[in-house]
Amino acid sequence: MSAQATAAASGANATQRFRENKQTSAVANQERVALLAGRLIKAANDIVLEERVTYEEYNALKAWLIQVGEDGEWPLFLDVWLEHSVEEVATSHRKGNKGSIEGPYYVPNSPEHNSPATIEMRPEEKGTPLLFQGQVRSTDGSPLPNAKIELWHADEDGFYSQFAPNIPEWNLRGTFITDEEGNFQINTIQPAPYQIPTDGACGQLIAAAGWHAWRPAHLHLKVSAPGYELLTTQLYFPGDPHNDDDIATATKPELMLDIQPAAGRQGVQTSYNFVLDPEA
């Protein structure tokens, strides 16, 4: 069953996906590499000197770094503890929606549907039915017809398809096209909060530091339209106990959903509008 998912298996999948989807042809700027790598190395050495790190601690760090690689958990480690700052820099200029981290579990080319639509799910998918609706528009207020909304999220047990066993390939993953007024309606289920994998190297760090491993419940989204900047974000549910101490530090007040009882149907519903910035 999906409960048998392991950090090593999830990490291997995340590493493979990164290698497939994040290849870049950009030429590294030598001065920039020297600046960033030099500052990183200096910061690490400053910590060693200021905290008087012992050889025992140094060797424990070396062993742990090796284990991160063997577990394939570098995507998880970087996405949990560093990506939120990179995302903040990348979207600081935007007048439309701010974003949030992509995380390690994105898979491109999910099945495409015209809105309104229902995301792919198992016949007896556990969880509270959720109607997610809204509009995509430009910063000038004009609606964006045929905009693309990629949605993916965990199931009620906290697992993602393609990263845990015995879950259909595209379960709770889909791409949805807005109508002529930029509107969308997506039927899915409300995801659950979950712990990031703790049986691998990242879990060892969390346990050793006395931290928790919880992420609040959230929807992952990528919203795009020709001529506009891609928006990558996450949306969160009010009342989640980990909205204020998310292990990934990815929550923002403007990303909180307003959840209401569904009108004339079982479950809940929410409306959220996306505002995209034109490409420079």
DSSP 156-223: TTS--TTSSTTS-TTTTEEEEE--TTSEEEEEEE----EEPP-SSHHHHHHHHHT---EE--EEEEEE
pLDDT reported for residue 29: 86
pLDDT reported for residue 2: 44
**How far separated are the first and last CA of the chain, in Å rounded?**
47
Instruction: Domain count for the chain, please give it.
Output: 1
* Overall average pLDDT of the 137-157 stretch: 97
pLDDT, tens digit, for every residue of 34-74? 999 999 999 999 999 999 999 999 999 999 999 999 988 89
pLDDT reported for residue 198: 87
* Overall average pLDDT of the 172-201 stretch: 95
Could you tell me the CATH number of the domain that includes residue 242? 2.60.130.10
Residue of 7 and 220 predicted with greater confidence: 220
Q: Which domain holds residue 153?
A: 2-22+29-276
User: Among residues of the chain, what percentage have pLDDT more than 70?
Assistant: 92
> What is the pTM (predicted TM-score) of this model?
0.86
pLDDT reported for residue 1: 39
| Alpha carbon of residue 114 to chain centroid | 24
Average pLDDT score over the chain:
92
* Overall average pLDDT of the 252-264 stretch: 95
